[in-house]
């Protein structure tokens, strides 16, 4: 029996696939740390996952402003960042921003 849905080689239909790009915020006050994370993950975490569009920020204020602006799918926060570490930024965005995206420390 034929179906109207087109499926890719992994059995996922276009309707199930979700957005083609995931927007990920990367916060660290060290450019080397941000670069290491980007290089480790790459532009796509796995072959069957969407492309990642990285947004790098180096200050807690910039991270909070970016999350407040919306449109992000995931936050990657450096737990060892100076002044306000990733835990502090995480606590603040979870307390202050409605429907905050998932956070990875």
pTM: 0.79
pLDDT at residue number 84: 82
All domains of the chain in start order, with CATH:
19-104 (3.40.50.2300)
Q: How far apart are CA 35 and CA 56, in angstroms?
A: 9
The pLDDT of residue 60 is 95
Task: Print pLDDT tens along the chain (105 aa).
Answer: 444 445 454 444 445 556 789 999 999 999 999 999 999 999 998 999 999 999 999 999 999 999 999 999 999 999 998 878 899 999 999 999 999 999 999
Nearest to 80 by CA among 46, 35, 43, 29: 29
Q: Token digits for 44?
A: 């796509």
The DSSP 8-state label assigned to residue 101 in this structure reads P
Backbone angles phi, psi at 51, to 5 degrees: -65, 145
């Amino acid at each position: 029996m034929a179906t109207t849905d087109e499926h890719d080689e992994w059995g996922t239909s276009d309707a199930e696939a979700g957005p083609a790009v995931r927007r990920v915020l990367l916060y660290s006050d060290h450019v080397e740390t941000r670069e290491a994370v980007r290089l480790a993950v790459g532009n796509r975490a796995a072959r069957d996952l969407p492309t990642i569009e990285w947004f790098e920020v180096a200050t807690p204020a910039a991270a909070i402003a970016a999350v407040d602006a919306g449109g992000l799918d995931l936050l990657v926060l450096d737990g060892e960042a100076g002044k306000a570490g990733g835990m502090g930024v995480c606590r603040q965005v979870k307390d202050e921003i409605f429907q905050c995206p998932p956070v990875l420390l």
